[in-house]
Structure formats: C-alpha cells, structure tokens
Amino acid sequence: MLTSVISFCFVVLFLAPQFYILSRPKSSRYCEKPLLSNLIVFIVFSFIATGLAVALTLTDPVPKSIRVAFHSFGLFAFIQGLCTLILTLTAPQCANTTTELYIFSLVVSWGSILSTVFFLVRGSLCLIHKLFPDWLRDTCLWG
C-alpha cells in the first residue's frame, strides 16, 4: 500500500509539469526543432516508467521478461535522453518562442546527463565487484 502511494506521488510530481507545459498555448508556437514532439515522447516514457515501477514493486521474484523489459526501457530512455540533449543544444532560438518547453528540455537534458553518470559509476562498481570480489575487503583500513 505504501509503495502505491509513493508511486502515485512520483507520477504526479513528474507528469504534472509535463502536462502543464503541453497545455500551454505558448508551447504550440513555432520552433525549428521538434521540442514539443520530444515532450510527448517523454510523457509516454514517463507512463511506461510508472508501469515498470508498479510491476517491479508488486512482483517478488521478478520474472525474466520484466527484467528484460526494464533493461530495454533503460536503453531506450538513454537514447531518448541523448536525443533530448542534442535537440536542446541545437535549439537555443526556441528559448525565445517556447520558453517553458525549452527550460523543461534543459532540465530533462541535465537529468539525463546526471543519471547516465550515476549508472556508469554504479555499473563500473558492480563490474569491479564481480571481477574482483575481495578487492574492497582487502584494501579496507579498519577491518
């Protein structure tokens, strides 16, 4: 029950600004880059992420199909973040015509960069732990 409430809060926190920007009449103004289409794809990805989060919290032994879907979604989300970063960097003129949309794209781009760095560090540490399981234990000064 608690995980459902927490998931609902995260959905509201992440989707509310996206729908607000989508509903703004200023967001439909002309911009050379397809930032509005990118926002719609990001909304779809948010719904998929919500579904995966619910599926992961409700299943105790996670089936292989859900794990494959989760990792595939992670790869596609990385590609989407990369596309958002490229679109945002090549569309500085959109900051004047669609301000909210451009700022949201900047925030999503920075979030994508930070999450990529986080998962690269986490993946590297996991790989080091798999390859050298006693490495951190042997170098520990206090134990």
Domain range summary for the chain, segments of one domain joined by +: 2-131
Amino acid (1-letter code) at residue 8: F
Rounded-to-integer distance, Cα 4 and Cα 10, Å? 10
Q: Which residue has the tokens 């439909």?
A: 28
Rounded-to-integer distance, Cα 68 and Cα 134, Å? 29
Rounded-to-integer distance, Cα 90 and Cα 33, Å? 8
The DSSP line for 66-117 is HHHHHHHHHHHHHHHHHHHHHHHHT-TTHHHHSHHHHHHHHHHHHHHHHHHH
pTM of the entire structure?
0.78
Mean pLDDT by 10 residues, the chain (143 residues): 74 86 76 85 90 84 89 92 93 86 92 92 85 66 44
* pLDDT for res 28: 66
* pLDDT for res 141: 43
* pLDDT for res 89: 92
